[in-house]
Structure 1
Amino acid sequence: MHCFVYASQRKADTYLWLDKKDHFDVLPESLVLLLGDLRFVLEVELHPDRRLPHEDVEVVMQHLLTKGWHLQLPPHETLAVSTHTHDHPLAPKSRDE
């Protein structure tokens, strides 16, 4: 499976994998806002035996097949952490609220 990788200019160590070059119209608007400008970094061929340093190749391939994209966040970060601000509608509420 051929794919294209872009680095977020807004979020360090955050990468977007796409099934087609510059196929940004498949992305949810909230993800576009989170990532900001993207810089093309890599064109790569994926297959089940390929090893990736920080991602499970099977998961990446499944996301590319089903959604057309895969989001790679920095190690030990989740989407909830990356979108966390006190007034963000998706942010977890504190125990006091």
Structure 2
Amino acid sequence: MICAVYKSRRKADSYLFIEKRNEFERVPEALLEMFGEAELVMMLPLSKRDHLGFADINKVKSELKEKGYYLQLPPPKVNLLEAHKKEIGYSRD
């Protein structure tokens, strides 16, 4: 299985995996609008790989078969100061 991987020019670190190059028919219109202009990054042979960088390869393959696309978003940013305050039990009260 080979898929096309596109990056968003609007949303940093967001990638859209689709079944075939330039075939966005199965991707919802609202998602395409949010994603913005898609720039081809690579053609990726999934059948020859055991893992991907940040995405679960089995989930990518499954969603490509079921939905025709897989959207990879960056992990949410953690506010380290707030996490530290919570960890030490700091309160302004």
Fold agreement, TM-score > 0.5: yes
Deviation at 1:70, TM superposition (A): 0.3
The structure whose residues are more often helix, as a share, is 2
Aligned match of 1:65: 65
Alignment-derived partner of residue 15 in structure 2: 15
Q: How large is the RMSD of aligned CA atoms in angstroms?
A: 1.6
Tell me which structure has the larger Cα radius of gyration: 2
Which residues of structure 1 form unaligned runs of 5+? 78-97
Q: How many residues are matched?
A: 77
Deviation at 1:47, TM superposition (A): 2.9
Dislocated runs of 4+, deviation >4 Å: none
Normalised TM-score (structure 2): 0.77
The structure showing larger relative contact order (alpha-carbon pairs under 8 Å, at least 6 residues apart) is 2
Deviation at 1:49, TM superposition (A): 5.2
Which consecutive residues of structure 2, in runs of 5 or more, have no partner in the other structure?
78-93
Equivalent residue, structure 2, for 1:6: 6
Counterpart residue identity of residue 24, structure 2: F
Cα gap change, 1:20 to 1:10, in 2 (>3 Å): same
Identity of aligned residues (%): 39
Name the aligned partner's letter for residue 59 of structure 2: V
If the length of structure 1 is used for normalisation, what is the TM-score?
0.74
